[in-house]
C-alpha cells in the first residue's frame, strides 16, 4: 500500500516561493508535476491572514478595494470608542494586544482572525452610522473585514455541519463554499496597495491568497472526479505539523533544538499515550476534529463561536439574531442620540429575548 501526496503546503518565505517557481508552479497555474503525479501547491492560510493584517496595520501603505480606500485607522477609532463603553461592548474580544501586538503576538493567528471578524465589521458600521467615527473610509473598511472573514471561514472548515454555513466544507451537495472561494479570487485581484503614489507589487500575501484559492478549487475538481463528496479546507494548512512539533519540543521541558535521538524517543513516547495537547499559547489552532455525523439539515442556528470571534452569533438568520443595521435604525440614529454602546445593549437584549422566546 502506498500514498500519493496531492497537496504541498508551505508559508510564503522567499526560499519557498523560489522553490515553487523552479518546480513550475505559479499563481496562474499552482500545480506541479513530479514523476507524472500532479501536486497542488498552496500557502498556509493562517500565515496569509497574519501577513494581510500586518500590511493593513502599516501606516506607510494604503489599501484600495475596487478603487475604494480601506484603513486600519477605522479599526483603531472604533476600538477607542468601544473601550469607553460602561455597560456592553461591541468588540468583545478585541484587546490592546490586537491593536498593538508585540512581535510574538503578531505570530498568533487568533489575533488576526479576531480582527477580520463579523463582530469588528459590524462595530465599525455601527460607529459610522452613529457618527462616533467620522471617516469616509469606515463603511468600506467594514465591508473589507467582512469579506476577508468570509474567505477565511471558507478556508477553515473543520466539521461537516458547522453552524456557520460559510465555514462548511466544499461539498457536492452545497456550492456555497465554492462560490465564496471563487469570488475570493476576484476580490484579491481587485485589491491594490500604494505607498504614496507608487503601487506596491511586493505584498506577497495578495498573490498568495489568489494562488491558494485557485489551487484548492482545482484540487476540489480533481477529488470530485474521483468520487469524493466533501473537502474540509481547515486541514490544508500547517497547523497539524506545527502542533505536532510543539508537542515534541515541550516533551520533558522546552527543548527548541532536539537531537535526532531525542526527537525519535519523544515521538515514540507520545504515540504510546496518544499525542499530548499542544500548548494553548501556541500560534496556531488546536486540533479539534468532530468526526461524528450530525443532522444534515442546513438549518442556521445562533451559537457562540470562539474561533473567529462571532461574539453572540455566527452566521444565523438575519431576522433572528444577526447584527445588522436596518434602515429604520439608521433613520432613528440621525433623529436621536444613539451610540454604539446603546446599540450593543439593545442587540444583546434582543438576542437574549430571542433565546428565551425559543425556549418558551
Does one domain contain both 137 and 263?
no
Q: Phi, psi (5° rounding) for residue 64?
A: -130, 130
Does one domain contain both 312 and 179?
yes
**Confidence at residue 246, expressed as pLDDT on a 0 to 100 scale:** 75
The more confident residue out of 83 and 241 is 83
**Confidence at residue 262, expressed as pLDDT on a 0 to 100 scale:** 82
Domain count, the chain: 2
Query: Highest-confidence range of 253-262, 292-301, 317-326, by mean pLDDT?
Result: 253-262
Share of the chain above pLDDT 90, in %: 59
Does one domain contain both 252 and 299?
no
Which of 40-49, 112-121, 316-325 is least confident? 316-325
Does one domain contain both 146 and 252?
no
- Looking at every residue in the chain, the average pLDDT score rounds to 83
CB 192 within 8 A of CB 64: yes
Mean pLDDT of the region 185-193: 96
Does one domain contain both 333 and 320?
yes
- Tell whether 322 is covered by a domain: yes
Does one domain contain both 106 and 255?
no
Cell of 251: 516533551
- Tell whether 18 is covered by a domain: no
Q: Is 71 helix (H, G, I), strand (E, B) or coil?
A: coil
pLDDT tens per residue across span 201-219 = 999 999 999 999 999 999 9
**Confidence at residue 343, expressed as pLDDT on a 0 to 100 scale:** 85
CB 56 within 8 A of CB 112: no
DSSP-derived pairing of the beta strands 37-43 and 68-70: unpaired
Residue closest to 16 by CA, chosen among 28, 1, 32, 3? 32
**Confidence at residue 287, expressed as pLDDT on a 0 to 100 scale:** 52
Largest CA distance in the chain: 72
Does one domain contain both 246 and 320?
no
The more confident residue out of 134 and 299 is 134
**Confidence at residue 360, expressed as pLDDT on a 0 to 100 scale:** 81
Does one domain contain both 82 and 144?
yes
Mean pLDDT of the region 306-318: 37
**Confidence at residue 326, expressed as pLDDT on a 0 to 100 scale:** 53
Rounded distance between C-alpha atoms, residue 122 and residue 142, angstroms? 7
Which of 111-120, 144-153, 234-243, 326-335 is least confident? 326-335
Count, in order, helices (H) and strands (E) of the chain. Answer: 13, 9
End-to-end Cα distance, the chain: 56
DSSP-derived pairing of the beta strands 198-199 and 191-195: antiparallel
- Tell whether 73 is covered by a domain: yes
Sign of CA pseudo-dihedral 326, 123, 298, 172: positive
Residue closest to 79 by CA, chosen among 60, 97, 95, 102? 95
**Confidence at residue 305, expressed as pLDDT on a 0 to 100 scale:** 36
Does one domain contain both 264 and 352?
no
Mean pLDDT of the region 290-295: 39
Residue closest to 206 by CA, chosen among 39, 27, 17? 27
**Confidence at residue 283, expressed as pLDDT on a 0 to 100 scale:** 61
**Confidence at residue 113, expressed as pLDDT on a 0 to 100 scale:** 95
Does one domain contain both 257 and 304?
no
CB 294 within 8 A of CB 160: yes
Rounded distance between C-alpha atoms, residue 112 and residue 94, angstroms? 10
**Confidence at residue 239, expressed as pLDDT on a 0 to 100 scale:** 76
Does one domain contain both 354 and 267?
no
Q: How confident is the model at residue 331 (pLDDT cuts 50, 70, 90)?
A: low
Q: Give the domain extent around 174.
A: 44-237+294-359
pLDDT tens per residue across span 269-285 = 777 665 555 555 556 65
Mean pLDDT of the region 54-64: 95
Does one domain contain both 317 and 252?
no
- Tell whether 59 is covered by a domain: yes
Amino acid at each position: 500500500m502506498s500514498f500519493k501526496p496531492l497537496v504541498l503546503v508551505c508559508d510564503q518565505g522567499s526560499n519557498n516561493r523560489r522553490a515553487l517557481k523552479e518546480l513550475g508552479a505559479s499563481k496562474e497555474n499552482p500545480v506541479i508535476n513530479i514523476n507524472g503525479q500532479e501536486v497542488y501547491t498552496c500557502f498556509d492560510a493562517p500565515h496569509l491572514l497574519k501577513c494581510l493584517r500586518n500590511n493593513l496595520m502599516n501606516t506607510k501603505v494604503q489599501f484600495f478595494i475596487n478603487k475604494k480606500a480601506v484603513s486600519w485607522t477605522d479599526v483603531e477609532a472604533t476600538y477607542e470608542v468601544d473601550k469607553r463603553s460602561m455597560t456592553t461592548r461591541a468588540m468583545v474580544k478585541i484587546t490592546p494586544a490586537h491593536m498593538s501586538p508585540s512581535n510574538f503576538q503578531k505570530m498568533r493567528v487568533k489575533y488576526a482572525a479576531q480582527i477580520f471578524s463579523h463582530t469588528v465589521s459590524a462595530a465599525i458600521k455601527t460607529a459610522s452610522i452613529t457618527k462616533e467615527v467620522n471617516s469616509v473610509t469606515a463603511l468600506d473598511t467594514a465591508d473589507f473585514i467582512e469579506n476577508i472573514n468570509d474567505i477565511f471561514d471558507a478556508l477553515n472548515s473543520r466539521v461537516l455541519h458547522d453552524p456557520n454555513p460559510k465555514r462548511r466544507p466544499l461539498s457536492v451537495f452545497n456550492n456555497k463554499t465554492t462560490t465564496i472561494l471563487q469570488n475570493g479570487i476576484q476580490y484579491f485581484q481587485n485589491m491594490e496597495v500604494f505607498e504614496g503614489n507608487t503601487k506596491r507589487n511586493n505584498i506577497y500575501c495578495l498573490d498568495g491568497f489568489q494562488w491558494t484559492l485557485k489551487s484548492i478549487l482545482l484540487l476540489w475538481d480533481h477529488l470530485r472526479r474521483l468520487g469524493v463528496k466533501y473537502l474540509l479546507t481547515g486541514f490544508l494548512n500547517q497547523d497539524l505539523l506545527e502542533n505536532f512539533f510543539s508537542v515534541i519540543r515541550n516533551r520533558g521541558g522546552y527543548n527548541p533544538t532536539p537531537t535526532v535521538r531525542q526527537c525519535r524517543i519523544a515521538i515514540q513516547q507520545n504515540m504510546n499515550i496518544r499525542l499530548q495537547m499542544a500548548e494553548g499559547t501556541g500560534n496556531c489552532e488546536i486540533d479539534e476534529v468532530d468526526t461524528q455525523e450530525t443532522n444534515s439539515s442546513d438549518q442556521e442556528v445562533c451559537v457562540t463561536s470562539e474561533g473567529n470571534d462571532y461574539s453572540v452569533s455566527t452566521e444565523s438568520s438575519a431576522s433572528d439574531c444577526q447584527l445588522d443595521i436596518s434602515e429604520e435604525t439608521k433613520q432613528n440614529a440621525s433623529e436621536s442620540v444613539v451610540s454604539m454602546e446603546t446599540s450593543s445593549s439593545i442587540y444583546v437584549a434582543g438576542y437574549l429575548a430571542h433565546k428565551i422566546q425559543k425556549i418558551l
